[in-house]
């Protein structure tokens, strides 16, 4: 009896496995006469659905390539990619958002677009991209990454709180960081002796934005020197430290921007913890959702505005840009198919409408002026005025994390240093700290440069 039951269970199990296997083979079936392009990305949820949609549209538009999008967790994305490259089975296209382009290019982990696409098309792509988008992918005069969505930071503000504090209409733009300081001071509130609302608080991760705004550069491409102790960067850090001096390290750490305690990681501006906050364009969705919820409940709708970083008074750059980029791993089986998909996504060669539709669906900033100016996208911008401001800022001189091998660690170490300075009341010599970091990163970058680059290593191939 027992044996019969076991046998029946085994048969049922085998049946389930067979049905499951058949389903998998059906979903992975490649249409006849089409070449597969495997695309790894880390989008999931609503963003993942948008990616699936654009992949479907691309596949429908094609009779040669077929993109198979694979969504995977972003945490160990790099590790999986390197193992796949080392194992000789990388995907054909990946999406990344860390400052790794120069590093991976130097080590030969990725193809330059010049290696996989006709020269004319690469040149066309370079002129198609906004300067800020292009800056995220160019290394050693070659295009190693194509930006597919820009991330721009600007100062969101609660109009009600700011206007109450100023007792006048909020300015359209801030004239200087000093004006931001004044507003921050006026909007900072204490209840029963305890801090209850922050006017503005610099995020430790954003020395990368404030440094250039103060006129500084983190790296001198001409000399190959790390310039973390650039006078203007020291000034920017000193300015950020001013907030710690006024509020205390404890308050700075407690009111940190990436506040985990808020339900669903709620945007602190909506929780009225901040009056002004530096964040990216993706927060527009949160603000609009909150405003819509207020309307639905017949509650007063809180108005919000956006300021660009006040760079003019310091003659600095407009801010810091990063974003998602497409990369084609070396030894990819179908780099040409990947290039076709890149062109489709970015809207090149008559795909502006598709690209506009994609950006509007995801609330993503187009990487090309033509897409941003297309009728479809303008309709979207008219309905989303806050977002329109970010699209406007994307066309200004935003600078990325330096494109240099080792930039990923450089990014991390700068953030560590700023945290150390902001989260501790101990007085430190900022110039000395930045100089020590400068030296450490120079050693790190020099160590990488001592290796033969991929191009040198394979010169005889």
The correct pick among 272, 302, 370, 419 for binding other proteins (CB under 8 A) is 419
Site string for other proteins, 74-103 (x = CB under 8 A): -xx-xx--xx-xx----------------x
Site string for other proteins, 394-413 (x = CB under 8 A): ------------x-xx--x-
Query: Based on CB atoms, which residue is closest to other proteins, 208 or 345?
Result: 208
Find the DSSP H helices in 28-158: 45-61, 77-86, 101-107, 113-116, 119-128, 131-135
Query: Based on CB atoms, which residue is closest to other proteins, 360 or 422?
Result: 422
Range in contact with other proteins (rule: CB under 8 A) among 121-129, 132-140, 221-229, 254-262: 254-262
CB 380 within 8 A of CB 357: no
Residue 264 interacts with other proteins (CB under 8 A)?
no
CA angle 334–401–311, rounded 5-degree value: 135
The DSSP annotation for 275-315 comes to: SEEEEETTHHHHHHHHHHHHHHTTPPPPPEEEE----GGGT
The correct pick among 136, 417, 434, 445 for binding other proteins (CB under 8 A) is 417
CA angle 66–71–77, rounded 5-degree value: 115
Residue 107 interacts with other proteins (CB under 8 A)?
yes
Range in contact with other proteins (rule: CB under 8 A) among 44-52, 140-148, 173-181, 256-264: 256-264
The correct pick among 250, 292, 299, 379 for binding other proteins (CB under 8 A) is 250
Residue 72 interacts with other proteins (CB under 8 A)?
no
Q: Could you tell me which residues come within 8 angstroms of residue 73 by beta carbon, excluding any fewer than 6 positions away?
A: 42
Residue 439 interacts with other proteins (CB under 8 A)?
no
Residue 258 interacts with other proteins (CB under 8 A)?
yes
| Tokens describing residue 353 | 């409408």
Question: Tokens 């085994």 correspond to what residue?
Answer: 10
Question: Tokens 């490649």 correspond to what residue?
Answer: 30
Find the DSSP H helices in 117-230: 119-128, 131-135, 159-166, 177-187, 207-213
Range in contact with other proteins (rule: CB under 8 A) among 135-143, 183-191, 374-382, 417-425: 417-425
Smallest distance, Å, CB 426 to other proteins?
9
Range in contact with other proteins (rule: CB under 8 A) among 2-10, 212-220, 236-244, 451-459: 451-459
Residue 378 interacts with other proteins (CB under 8 A)?
no
CB 69 within 8 A of CB 41: yes
The correct pick among 35, 255, 291, 333 for binding other proteins (CB under 8 A) is 255
| Tokens describing residue 448 | 């990488």
List binders of other proteins among 109-128 (CB under 8 A): 109
Query: Based on CB atoms, which residue is closest to other proteins, 229 or 368?
Result: 229
Smallest distance, Å, CB 379 to other proteins?
37
* Exposure letters 350-375 (e unless 16+ CB within 10 A, then b): ebbebbbbbbbbbbbbbbbbbbbebe
Residue 282 interacts with other proteins (CB under 8 A)?
no
Calpha distance 378→351 (Å, rounded)? 16
Angle between helix axes 335-346 and 119-128 (nearest 10 degrees) is: 30
Range in contact with other proteins (rule: CB under 8 A) among 111-119, 316-324, 353-361, 450-458: 450-458
Binding site for other proteins (CB under 8 A): 75-76, 78-79, 82-83, 85-86, 103, 107-109, 204, 250, 253-256, 258-261, 406, 408-409, 412, 415-417, 419-420, 423-424, 440, 444, 451, 454, 457
């Amino acid at each position: 009896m027992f044996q019969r039951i076991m046998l029946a269970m085994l048969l049922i199990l085998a049946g389930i496995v067979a049905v499951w296997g058949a389903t998998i083979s059906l979903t992975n079936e490649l249409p006849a006469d089409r070449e597969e392009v495997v695309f790894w990305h880390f989008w999931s949820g609503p963003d993942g659905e948008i990616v699936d949609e654009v992949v479907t549209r691309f596949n429908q538009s094609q009779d040669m390539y077929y993109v198979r999008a694979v969504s995977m967790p972003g945490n160990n994305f790099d590790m999986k990619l390197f193992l796949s490259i080392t194992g000789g089975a990388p995907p054909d296209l990946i999406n990344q958002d860390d400052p790794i382009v120069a590093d991976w290019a130097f080590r030969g982990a990725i193809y330059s677009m010049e290696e996989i696409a006709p020269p004319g098309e690469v040149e066309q792509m370079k002129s198609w991209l906004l300067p800020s988008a292009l800056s995220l992918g160019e290394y050693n005069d070659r295009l190693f990454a194509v930006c597919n969505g820009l991330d721009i930071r600007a100062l969101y503000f609660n109009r009600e709180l700011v206007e109450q504090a100023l007792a006048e209409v909020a300015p359209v733009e801030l004239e200087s960081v000093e004006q931001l300081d004044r507003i921050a001071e006026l909007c900072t509130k204490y209840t029963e002796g305890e801090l209850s609302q922050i006017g503005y608080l610099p995020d430790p991760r954003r020395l990368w934005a404030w440094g250039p705004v103060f006129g500084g550069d983190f790296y001198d491409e001409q000399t190959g020197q790390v310039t973390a102790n650039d006078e203007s960067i020291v000034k920017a850090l000193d300015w950020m430290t001013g907030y710690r001096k006024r509020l205390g390290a404890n308050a700075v750490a407690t009111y940190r921007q990436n506040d985990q305690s808020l339900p669903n990681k709620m945007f602190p501006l909506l929780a009225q913890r901040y009056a002004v906050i530096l964040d990216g364009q993706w927060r527009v969705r949160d603000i609009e959702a909150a405003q819509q919820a207020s309307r639905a409940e017949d509650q007063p709708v809180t108005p919000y505005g956006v300021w660009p970083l006040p760079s003019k008074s310091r003659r600095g750059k407009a801010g810091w840009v990063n974003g998602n980029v497409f990369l084609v791993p070396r030894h990819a089986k179908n780099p040409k198919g990947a290039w076709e998909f890149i062109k489709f996504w970015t809207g090149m060669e008559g795909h502006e409408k598709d690209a506009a539709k994609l950006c509007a669906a995801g609330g993503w900033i187009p990487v090309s002026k033509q897409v941003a100016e297309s009728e479809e996208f303008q309709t979207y911008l008219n309905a989303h005025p806050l977002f329109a401001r970010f699209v406007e800022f994307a066309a200004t001189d935003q600078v990325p994390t330096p494109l240099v091998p080792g930039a990923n660690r450089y990014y991390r170490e700068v953030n560590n240093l700023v945290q150390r300075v902001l989260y501790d009341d101990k007085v430190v010599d900022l110039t000395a700290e930045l100089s020590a970091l400068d030296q450490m990163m120079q050693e790190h970058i020099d160590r990488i440069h001592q290796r033969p680059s991929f191009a040198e290593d394979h010169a005889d191939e």
